[in-house]
Amino acid sequence: MNPKQNFDVSHIRKDFPILSQKIHGHSLAFLDNAASSQQPIKVTQAVKDYHEQDHANVHRGVHHLSHKATDAYEAARDKIAKFINTSSSKEIVFTSGTTEAINLLAATMESKIVAGDEILITHMEHHSNIVPWYRLCEKTKASLIVAPINQKGELILEEMIDLISNKTRLVACSHVSNALGTINPVEEIINAAHKRGVPVLIDGAQAIPHQSIDVNELDCDFYVFSGHKMCAPTGTGVFYAKEHILKEMPPWQGGGEMILSVSFDEIIYNDLPYRFEAGTPNISGVVGLGAAVDYLEDIGMDKIASYEKNLLNYLTESLGKAPGIRLIGTAENRAGVQSFTMEGAHPHDLGTVLDHQGVAIRTGHHCAMPVMEFFNVPGTARASLSFYNVESEIDQLIEGLSVARDMFL
């Protein structure tokens, strides 16, 4: 497509060959984008070209291919830095994904946490933003404090802010909930935490595919996300931290790349951000991530956000009209996701029946068991959108649900 033009979804879909296949004899309706999004040709081609023309290890050899690989890898870092508007590319550390990025922070904070300290998270976090903090608290005898949510699936902001105390060492909060789609008021949370001198980690895994992110404007201390939810290959992710904080953080994993010199008496660690990238990184994946950024920027994140907003409204309205459907997560401000249950049908049975009609959704607890417990459901069905989805796929979902209803009621 010529992306500077208007948003044309039929052209966009041609960039994603995987979407045009039949599943069990039906057109595929891929509505599981919150789990992992698909990759456009531009990304898969960039990865292929890299393997066929540029591959060598980065930051090591003096030969031509090593330079090319290093240039491609560092170009991707610059693209990401610009994409989320950091002050410097040094603030971008590549990881294997959001999970590794959060674990990086939890591990490097450990030496500074003492018994009685507090880590504040929310009730709607993904397990990857619960378990590392739970383990940190367990090791250090700190307390894990959980900010409450309401029946719509929104954070109760005032209560969360009240929970920030002089014992709080970090606030860790999702930008967008993967199970509920709620967009959290992260600006207010960051402001309130900073007033008390508390740093804030934002888990942006579910926000980055749907809206433009400006970490400078947000003023968050850490922002983390995964490549594979924004049209890039799996095994790529980003740990953003403000430079002055990164400088103070102890190294994490030890190995090659993260050092300047090693003897048995002394180790001098590498500069930022390489200090946090021990070992050979996922070079081809990062090249693909850079290509994904180019692709998304060509279309325009604002156009994507506005297209998806209409599509999400259509999804929520269509599900709302379908008989026997209970919507889980009805926050005023949502992105990309609608969870639901059907009376008389377990989410996994729904998933199987829908799959049979070509509709791919996620069913289960969505790695957010505390959210399921809050809504008193064993799991939900979750349809999640990308900018390449169309209304007819939502119609196909609704049609599939009516088949399921006939079967189970």
Q: State the nearest-atom distance from the C-beta of 405 to other proteins, in Å.
A: 13
User: Residue 148 corresponds to which tokens in the numbers above?
Assistant: 């409450």
Q: Is 130 in the site for other proteins (CB under 8 A)?
A: no
38 contacts 271 by C-beta, under 8 angstroms: no
Q: State the nearest-atom distance from the C-beta of 99 to other proteins, in Å.
A: 17
81 versus 328: smaller Cβ distance to other proteins? 328
- The piece of 83-91, 297-305, 351-359, 392-400 that touches other proteins (CB under 8 A) is 351-359
What is the distance between the alpha carbons of residues 397 and 403, in angstroms, rounded to a whole number?
10
337 contacts 382 by C-beta, under 8 angstroms: yes
Q: Is 353 in the site for other proteins (CB under 8 A)?
A: yes
203 contacts 229 by C-beta, under 8 angstroms: no
Residues contacting residue 300 through CB under 8 Å, at least 6 positions apart: 3, 7
Measured in whole angstroms, how far is the alpha carbon of residue 271 from the centre of its chain?
27
Q: State the nearest-atom distance from the C-beta of 372 to other proteins, in Å.
A: 7
267 versus 409: smaller Cβ distance to other proteins? 409
14 versus 346: smaller Cβ distance to other proteins? 346
The dihedral over CA atoms of 315, 316, 318, 321, expressed in degrees to the nearest 10, equals 170
- Residue 137 annotated among the catalytic residues of the structure: no
In what helix (H) or strand (E) does residue 95 lie, and over which residues does it extend?
strand 92-95
Q: How far is CA 168 from CA 51, 125, 239, 289, 310, in A?
A: 46, 18, 21, 34, 39
Q: How many residues bind other proteins (CB under 8 A)?
A: 17
- Sketch the per residue contact string, 308 through 347, with other proteins: x for CB under 8 A, - otherwise: -------------------------------------xxx
In what helix (H) or strand (E) does residue 268 lie, and over which residues does it extend?
strand 267-269
Q: Is 402 in the site for other proteins (CB under 8 A)?
A: no
74 versus 349: smaller Cβ distance to other proteins? 349
CA contacts within 13 A on the Cβ side of 195: 10
Q: State the nearest-atom distance from the C-beta of 169 to other proteins, in Å.
A: 31
CA contacts within 13 A on the Cβ side of 171: 31
- Sketch the per residue contact string, 373 through 392, with other proteins: x for CB under 8 A, - otherwise: -----xx-------------
**Which residue among 85, 313, 352, 402 contacts other proteins (CB under 8 A)?**
352
**Which residue among 49, 297, 349, 399 contacts other proteins (CB under 8 A)?**
349
51 contacts 37 by C-beta, under 8 angstroms: no
Q: Is 364 in the site for other proteins (CB under 8 A)?
A: yes
Strands 237-241 and 92-95, sheet pairing: antiparallel
Q: Is 356 in the site for other proteins (CB under 8 A)?
A: yes
**Which residue among 126, 365, 382, 405 contacts other proteins (CB under 8 A)?**
365
Give 348-389 as a DSSP string: HHHHHHHHHTTEE-EEE-TT-HHHHHHTT-S-EEEEE--TT-
- The piece of 1-9, 188-196, 315-323, 348-356 that touches other proteins (CB under 8 A) is 348-356
Q: Is 254 in the site for other proteins (CB under 8 A)?
A: no
Q: Is 18 in the site for other proteins (CB under 8 A)?
A: no
Q: State the nearest-atom distance from the C-beta of 404 to other proteins, in Å.
A: 10
Q: State the nearest-atom distance from the C-beta of 24 to other proteins, in Å.
A: 5
335 contacts 352 by C-beta, under 8 angstroms: no
- Sketch the per residue contact string, 25 through 54, with other proteins: x for CB under 8 A, - otherwise: x-----------------------------
- 348 DSSP β-pair partners: none
Q: State the nearest-atom distance from the C-beta of 277 to other proteins, in Å.
A: 33
Which amino acid, one-letter code, is at 150? N
Q: Is 408 in the site for other proteins (CB under 8 A)?
A: yes
**Site residues (CB under 8 A) for other proteins?**
24-25, 345-349, 352-353, 356, 364-365, 372, 378-379, 407-408
Residues marked as catalytic: 367
